[in-house]
Amino acid sequence: MIQDNQKNFSRLQMLIDVIVLAVSYVSAWFLRFMGPFAYSAEKGLSFEQYMLPLIFIIPGYLLLYQAFTLYEPLHMQGRRLMLANIIKANVLGMLAFVFLLYMLKESDFSRLTVYIFCVVNILLEWGVRMLIFAVLRDMRKKGLNQKQIILVGYSRAAEEYIDRIEANPQWGYIVRGILDDNVPAGTMYKGIKVIGRIANLTVILPANRLDEIAITLGLSEYYRLEEIVAMCEKSGVHTKFIPDYNKIIPTKPYTEDILGLPVINIRYVPLSNTFNAMVKRVMDIFGSIAAIIVSSPVMALMCILIKATSPGPLIYKQERVGLHNKTFWMYKFRSMEIQPEAEEKKAWTVKNDPRVTGIGKFMRRTSIDELPQLFNILKGDMSLVGPRPERPFFVEKFREEIPRYMVKHQVRPGLTGWAQVNGYRGDTSIRKRIDCDLYYIENWSIGFDIKILFLTIFKGFINKNAY
């Protein structure tokens, strides 16, 4: 029910965004040519010619908003994050617009109009979304569009469901009580009372105008599911099942229908979809080629400095574990003195490590030593964004010590990742790094990759934990 309502609301939000984009763009033109910026304006193009790009701007920005999760429920991302995503989507759209004008050599089109459009659209998008949120909140306070529900079964799932309802009053759910056979009547959880036994459903359903029933049985009570579902469906009230499996499946599972057989997948991995994987691979190929071209002067300079300061090869290759647990050779600029392979395999670099060369310290601090991995990306061993690969020795060690560690190998390892831009690099918590990797794997999108790449540019290169 929540998902159906959200889909309809997202469609309405997209329609509103179309109007906001058009209004912002026209307003930008008026501000530039009729308003406070008109003193320096030169009308090289007509109003109609300026309006033509709207044909491409509107669908392009809707895709950007989708990529930056702006059609997710507000309660799932918060107002600050929503504002940040609005700004990022608009700035990226503005840069793409200006770049396109440059490539088309369109000198008569006012760049200032594009910049004004960016600012006006950010303000209007944010204002409209906050207005919608305020209206919905006011409706809920007045008792409009509220849903009366009852929970069947007192369990962890029931408590967690109540927690979420309490934290999100904009959903409009009012929990009338809980029915359970094992917990005494009168037991309270956050103001919600156990009002009777499960058998009372036969009395409660005809006598009360309930909108929904949520079955929140504990695992040990699942043998009663068929009986309870049959009871609920006789009443015609919408019924949903909230499984109590957090300790068994601590992730985001999803269901699929295989010729009428429902199958629960323990983990949702967007990149297991062939189309998503293909899009990411195309992005990796073009991105790595562009990065190799841009960084080639820096790489050439590093080659000279490495050769001039210490004997040994320019490129150092190290075995790492990648997609589907397959090993590959990862390339780096050599930043340490030559050492026996057996010693190198079993030890991390420590602070003030005497093995690190002078130029090596600089390269490791600035992550320049990672640049040769652009060729790993081009080969297909790695991706621009993903969990960082680890050496086989440590993979074997961590797989026994850290729950869900091996899940990271369901996607290609990356040059940068969500853990790295959050500061978990070098000598930092492996558990927190894995939590970030799992979040990335389960929430991958093109917009998320672009966000991580931007964050890497602004704060990801300098590594204070690199020794």
pLDDT at 225: 87
DSSP bridge partners of 213 = 150, 239
pLDDT at 3: 47
Asked if pLDDT for residue 271 goes beyond 80, the answer is: yes
At 237, is the pLDDT very low, low, confident or very high (cuts 50, 70, 90)? confident
Structure tokens at 364: 């490791």
* Beta carbons within 8 Å of 346's beta carbon, 6+ residues apart: 393
Q: What are the structural domain ranges in the chain?
A: 2-141, 147-248, 272-460
Question: Are residues 25 and 16 in contact, defined by beta-carbon separation less than 8 angstroms?
Answer: no
At 41, is the pLDDT very low, low, confident or very high (cuts 50, 70, 90)? low
Asked if pLDDT for residue 1 goes beyond 50, the answer is: no
CA distance 436 to 224: 38
Here the contacts of 354-360 (C-beta below 8 Å, separation 24 or greater) are 356/467, 357/306, 357/309, 357/310, 358/309, 359/302, 359/305, 359/306, 359/309, 359/310, 359/335, 360/334, 360/335, 360/336
Q: Which residue has the higher pLDDT, 355 or 275?
A: 275
Q: Which residue has the higher pLDDT, 29 or 1?
A: 29
CA distance 150 to 146: 13
Q: What does the pLDDT look like over 127-151, one tens digit per residue? A: 998 888 888 777 766 666 678 899 9
pLDDT at 81: 81
* Beta carbons within 8 Å of 462's beta carbon, 6+ residues apart: 365, 366, 367
pLDDT at 251: 65
Structure tokens at 184: 């005494």
How many other C-beta atoms can be found within 10 angstroms of the C-beta atom of residue 309?
Answer: 11
Structure tokens at 123: 């303000």
Q: What is the mean pLDDT of residues 419-447?
A: 86
CA distance 329 to 172: 54
The model carries a pTM of 0.60
Q: What does the pLDDT look like over 374-404, one tens digit per residue? A: 999 999 999 999 999 999 988 998 888 888 8
CATH 3.40.1050.10 fits 147-248, yes or no: no
Instruction: Let me know if 221 is exposed, middle or buried by CB neighbors in 10 A (0-12, 13-18, 19+).
Output: buried
Q: From its phi and psi, is residue 464 left (phi > 0), alpha (psi between -120 and 50) or beta?
A: alpha
At 342, is the pLDDT very low, low, confident or very high (cuts 50, 70, 90)? low
In order, the DSSP letters of 288-307 are HHHHHHHHHHHHHHHHHHHH
* Beta carbons within 8 Å of 298's beta carbon, 6+ residues apart: 368, 371
Strand 238-241 with 212-215, pairing: parallel
Pick the range with the lowest mean pLDDT from 56-65, 173-182, 321-330, 345-354: 345-354
How many other C-beta atoms can be found within 10 angstroms of the C-beta atom of residue 401?
Answer: 9
Cα 308 from chain centroid?
43
Q: What is the mean pLDDT of residues 43-68?
A: 88
Query: Collapsing DSSP states into helix, strand and coil, what is residue 100?
Result: helix
Please give the share of the chain, as a percent, with pLDDT higher than 90: 34
Average pLDDT along the chain: 84
Query: Collapsing DSSP states into helix, strand and coil, what is residue 326?
Result: coil
Asked if pLDDT for residue 358 goes beyond 70, the answer is: yes
CA distance 164 to 133: 18
pLDDT at 291: 93
Please name the residue that has the structure tokens 């309802």.
165
CA distance 71 to 82: 10
Q: What does the pLDDT look like over 61-85, one tens digit per residue? A: 998 888 887 887 665 566 788 888 8
